[in-house]
Amino acid sequence: MTSGSPRATSSSVRHALPDDHRPPWWALVSSVVAPVAMIGGWTLSQALQPSFDPVRDTISDLATAGMVAPWVMGAGLAVTGVAHCVTASGLREVPVAGRVFLVLGGLATFAVAMFPSDTHSQLHGISAAVGFGALGLWPALAARRGGQGVLSAKVAVPVSVVLLALVGVFVAELQQVTPDDGALTGLTERLVAGAQSLWPLVVTVALRRRRRPV
């Protein structure tokens, strides 16, 4: 009698991801590039400023004409947006709705870079709102019926709830309706932007680790 039971074999096959559905290597690369460009962009950009408060001041402020090198943050945002779109095209196991919202979030992030807040305030605000909203919703929309791990509703939906809650806190800080009168605007924005840039990487790595059983 063999050590593996039919039930165990069936379970491993059901939970495995076919090789042709696993995200390709270039999707993994793009999912790494996104948080590196976003977090690295604001880290380098604010380091170049003689006086900048990352706790209060926003990421968008770093891409305005008054900064020493506004192109650094602008490039970081643009690269992040493109990277999200590339990653979405490689997540073939993710439902279409989830991939579409990841692309929408990527395009909106790219638009944020193209429309700086000091010269195109209205377009910048719209792009940022769409980007934060889409990148907050896409994890929940990526959930599959019967999905496992990052594609299960019990994981994906709470992730969206947390991301959207962070967006809400950031908006409250931005509108200065919090007890600290917006003193943590920059910090809360960095929390939500960093978390949203990292989740596609988490999903890509998790799906690549699910191999066809031998």
Q: At what angle do helices 185-208 and 25-47 cross, to 10 degrees?
A: 160
pLDDT of amino acid 205: 97
- DSSP summary character for residue 181: T
Least confident of 1-5, 36-40, 55-59: 1-5
Is residue 8 in some structural domain? Answer: no
Q: Is residue 17 part of a domain?
A: no
11 located within any domain: no
* Domain, as residue range, for 130: 25-209
- 16 assigned to some structural domain: no
In the chain, the number of structural domains is: 1
- Judge whether 78 lies within some domain: yes
**Could you report the per-residue pLDDT of 192-203, keeping only the tens digit for each?**
999 999 999 999
Residue 137 forms part of a structural domain:
yes
Altogether, the residues listed in the chain come to a count of 214
Residue 82 lies in a domain: yes
Average pLDDT over residues 7-28: 63
Q: Give this prediction's pTM.
A: 0.87
- The reply to whether 33 falls in a domain is yes
Q: Given this model, what pLDDT does residue 177 score?
A: 94
Q: What's the pLDDT score for residue 145?
A: 86
